[in-house]
Amino acid sequence: MANSDNRWKQGFPKIGIRPTIDGRRKGVRESLEDQTMNMAKAVASLLSETLKYPNGEPVECIIADTCIGGVAEASAAAEKFAKAGVGVSITVTPCWCYGTETMDMDPSTPKAIWGFNGTERPGAVYLAAVLSGHAQKGIPAFGIYGKDVQDAGTTDIPQDVQEKLLRFAKAGLAAAYMKGKSYLSIGSVSMGIAGSIVNEELFQNYLGMRNEYVDMTELVRRIDEEIFDPEEYRIALNWVKENCKEGPDKNPPEIQTSREKKDQDWEKVVKMTLIVRDLMVGNLRLADLDYGEEALGHNAILSGFQGQRHWTDHFPNGDFLEAILNTSFDWNGKRAPYLVATENDSLNGVVMLFGNLLTNTAQIFADVRTYWSPDAVKRVTGHTLTGAAKDGILHLINSGPAALDGTGEQTRDGKPVMKPFWEITDEEVTKCLEATSWRPAAVEYFRGGGYSTDFLTKGGMPVTMSRINLVKGLGPVLQLAEGYSVDLPEDVHNTLDLRTDSTWPTTWFAPILTGEGSFTDVYSVMDNWGSNHGSISYGHIGADLITLAAILRIPVSMHNVAKEHIFRPRVWSNFGTSDPEGADFRACSSFGPLYK
């Protein structure tokens, strides 16, 4: 069987907590030692008790051995953090400290500073001073300053401070975890889709990742030479036969494949799934089978499968492998998703990765296919859209790679959700499988056969759709739209859905409108979307995506997040405060990518 912990063997980045202090001894420093260190401990407790790594374990925080009053202690903390694998740093203080002597100088480590809002000692003064030092030295840092004055010695962390600490920590850990991992491109460019032209500058300079490449013929070799775990294959195939219900074949009778061919397709797509996973992260079992090189994998946190058309004109399509790997469970039980971008759309894969690391949940990969206006729905179906859908909806649908979590069959407090794998129940796994039909692929698209997922996402889920686009001369740009999945009456859904391919999964999405810019109306959202694909994550995570983008120096061109929730490095305000979107572009351009 595959080693389910193989992905985590390198561990996870830790958060370093830096308690800084006024270095003057003989009275000043001594009076502040306990309060300063207790601030650090309180922050560490908050983060470890609230946040989890992708494997479900609590986030680990490392506190400097002593309070940091000057360069020597700052250097000692940096050395300790380097040895401990710290990837994110948070500085805390209730008082004045010597800014440039105590600051974290590592330019590639995401960093934030909490300056205590109290009147007894000037923590806010230090915060302003050290943030100006970060700006002057070109090392952006996030400033955290509570709205309300607190009393000296208070150990409580105000709610507004907690929100910023958690938002920064989630985004910082996401950035740190990507560093050193790989994007594995299986195949090349699919059907001229620009997103599957893998841009190494994006991965290396902005994300700190490396690029790995494998031709799709490697799958043929491993299938033909049986380079996969035969025991796991047997278990997987039996699980598929028992749990993946095959839907009706929509192809014309004269071109439908035989039962024998359909069974052969099932066998092949299961093997393809095992092989792509092994290519990504390795499989220790292969070493026992005398395939030591193949056992290592490519250390890929994300991959893309070209599929169309060089593969799918001859072999079964990649929809099953993409759907199952992107899902939070398989024949080995519940586990973290293996992220695979369909059609090797690496740019959509990047935002799938962002959403996964920020939420620890599976992601829905989809075409941003069609805008349905209220008038068009009324004309075609006679139905009047209401509720969240009243201003129109987007039809999100693609040829089968959407994670089964996207059915909405997982629940919390009776409402549909998408959960981290460790929260999913066995009953919810069964419901996701029962809500999914595996339809023989449309031969007009997939001459080699295969299977596509067919399900309908339950309405009522808060979700965020996002996308990275590349612009010549500008670089990567992020866009996002928060909104809700919506339910339509069954007959209305069928009428609209059957106008396209009935074998594919559908999510009806209603973005939240602001009445301005790209969110003037639903048509404007569709009209301003930068490509044919989008990634849909559970929850309204737009603010977290904006913070992560700022860490990576990727500007955000389109969002509907309320301004009070936007959290970027303090120096961004020096690029202008009346036009935050323009300031974001200017700041990202000035500082350049995180790993330049």
Residues flagged as binding site for Mn(2+): 343, 367, 533
Those residues whose C-beta lies under 8 Å from the C-beta of residue 449, and which sit 6 or more positions away, are 257, 261, 262, 265, 316, 317, 440, 441, 443
Tell me which residue of 309, 307, 235 sits closest to 270, measured CA to CA. Answer: 235
At residue 248, φ and ψ (nearest 5 deg) are: -65, 150
Contact of 434 with 455, CB cutoff 8 Å: no
Residues contributing to the annotated binding site: 343, 367, 533
Catalytic residue of the set 294, 330, 367, 487: 367
Long-range contacts of 413-419, Cβ-Cβ distance < 8 Å, separation of 24 or more: 415/460, 415/461, 416/458, 416/459, 416/460, 416/461, 416/485, 417/461, 417/538, 418/361, 418/362, 418/461, 418/538, 419/328, 419/361
Q: Tell how strand 533-538 and strand 462-471 pair up.
A: antiparallel
217 three-class SS: helix
The first and second tokens of residue 106, run together, are: 């590592």
Distance between CA 13 and CA 469 in Å, rounded? Answer: 28
Instruction: Give residue 510's identity as a one-letter amino acid code.
Output: A
* Residue 482 backbone dihedrals phi, psi, to 5 degrees: -85, 145
367 classed as catalytic? yes
Radius of gyration of the chain (CA): 25
Task: Report phi then psi at 186, rounded to 5.
Answer: -100, 100
- Tell me if residue 259 falls in helix, strand or coil: helix
Contact 173, 59 (CB under 8 A): yes
Both structure tokens of 214: 């494998």
- Which one of 232, 265, 322, 343 is the catalytic residue? 343
Sign (positive or negative) of CA dihedral 545, 541, 16, 29: positive
Distance CA 359, CA 49 (A): 15
Cis peptide before 309 (omega within 30 of 0): yes
CA 455 – CA 433 distance, rounded (Å): 10
- In three-state secondary structure terms, 390 is coil
Could you list the active site residues? 343, 367
